[in-house]
Structure 1
Amino acid sequence: DKGELKGAGFSFQVSDAQKYGQAIGHIGKLTSGSLKVGDAVQADVDQARRQRIRLNHSATHLMHAALRQVLGTHVAQKGSLVNDKALRFDFSHFEAMKPEEIRAVEDLVNAQIRRNLPIETNIMDIDAARESGAMALFGEKYDDRVRVLSMGDFSTELCGGTHASRT
């Protein structure tokens, strides 16, 4: 996230926020005043930017499911980049995609967006999540309780990110 932390006598411009265990660290610059432990702080998040990130992040889930439908269930996410301007989705496959495969993935993703499905999240234990068919990233370490993201019958994955409310 980006935005501003402010309080009595100070302003801190946030250029990034990172999770460190159970805490969130705000990276940026103190633009005026000073602050100390215990000061009251108001966070003003750039909501328009956050919404663009939500949409792009949600699109990565749609793309992952579409790639698996078009290319096969061997397709696995290997990484991604999501920001307010673009997304990149890295995945494994044994050959370059053909133009007709790219078009089929685009068509599937766009069809799911047009369906305007609700995006639902549920917290459950990891075994129940796996039994439900939720996809998880191979090699990732998960807590006993996980967040499961569902986009209708099209995509179900473990994910702790921020998402749109509908496809």
Structure 2
Amino acid sequence: MTTQHAIDWPQKYLPGTGDNFVSNEVIVQGITAADVWPFLTDTSTWEGYYDNVADISFPDGGGPGLKDGLAFRFGTFGFPPLDARVVQFQAPAEGVPGRLSWTAKQDGTPEERLDVLHAWLVEDLPGGRVRILTQETQIGRPAAALAAERPNPMLNGHQAWLDGLVAAASR
């Protein structure tokens, strides 16, 4: 029997308690967590395999590699650039999943305010497989509007990110 790991959720962002939550996952053979990790954590690669991200910048310096505590900005899903901060960063190792999460915020009027936690888990599984799980909780009126759209743009957008990430790591 194989047990799979789960995302570590701060209480504020528990799935099902915000205005929008999606979960996407792939399990594939032929690549490892070590193959995937650089494409996930080096933001300079993102636009090469995912077309729903733009204008990545680092207001306090640093980057393009993500690390714990790093502040960055990026545009996605038609929102103005969001202010993000890495809140969990653990590279994958033998028997230990890679964990990456960031908060992203947009200030403004109640109609504009958005507060997000986007989390990733990358783990090797028996049989030469890797599992990539990404989940996001969004809080705010823009999140509720996004959740009501059909098809769900965040669900489809994150699936495109996963598919692109797997393709990039497989090259």
Q: Same fold (TM over 0.5)?
A: no
The higher radius of gyration belongs to 1
TM range (shorter): under 0.3
Q: TM-score, normalised by structure 1?
A: 0.28
